[in-house]
Amino acid sequence: MIMTLSNCRLRAEAWGQDRGIYAQSSATKQAFKAHEETLELVEAAVDSDEDEIKDAIGDTLVALTHTAKLAGLTLEECWLGAIETIEARSGRMINGKFVKDE
């Protein structure tokens, strides 16, 4: 089975539904969960731990999936909106980070 972003989102949403996330949580609570997972990603990146990086990215995406759904959105539309915004953005690399022009 080819896994697309949409397939993964649907599986994450089914998992969240089965565990009561959509009935008992909120977009705000899930955004805080995504923040926690992102902090774990930073720690894993600092440690150059590839397995933990992979796990943290996945966990963050699941939490963002729940955040989006609870806000009446999908992960795909959020991602597409960001891509459409940044495609026209100009900037430069400073100390290994892209800094957008004002």
Exposed, middle or buried, 51 (CB in 10 Å: 0-12/13-18/19+)?
Answer: exposed
What DSSP assignment string belongs to 25-44?
Answer: --HHHHHHHHHHHHHHHHHH
Q: Tell which CATH architecture fits domain 5-100.
A: Orthogonal Bundle (1.10)
pLDDT at 79 over 90: yes
Q: In the chain, what are the domain boundaries?
A: 5-100
Task: Identify whether the C-beta of residue 27 lies closer than 8 Å to the C-beta of residue 70.
Answer: yes
pLDDT at 49 over 70: yes
Task: Identify whether the C-beta of residue 33 lies closer than 8 Å to the C-beta of residue 66.
Answer: yes
Rg (CA), the chain: 16
Each residue of 16-48: pLDDT tens digit? 999 999 999 999 999 999 999 999 999 999 999
Question: pTM for the complete prediction?
Answer: 0.88
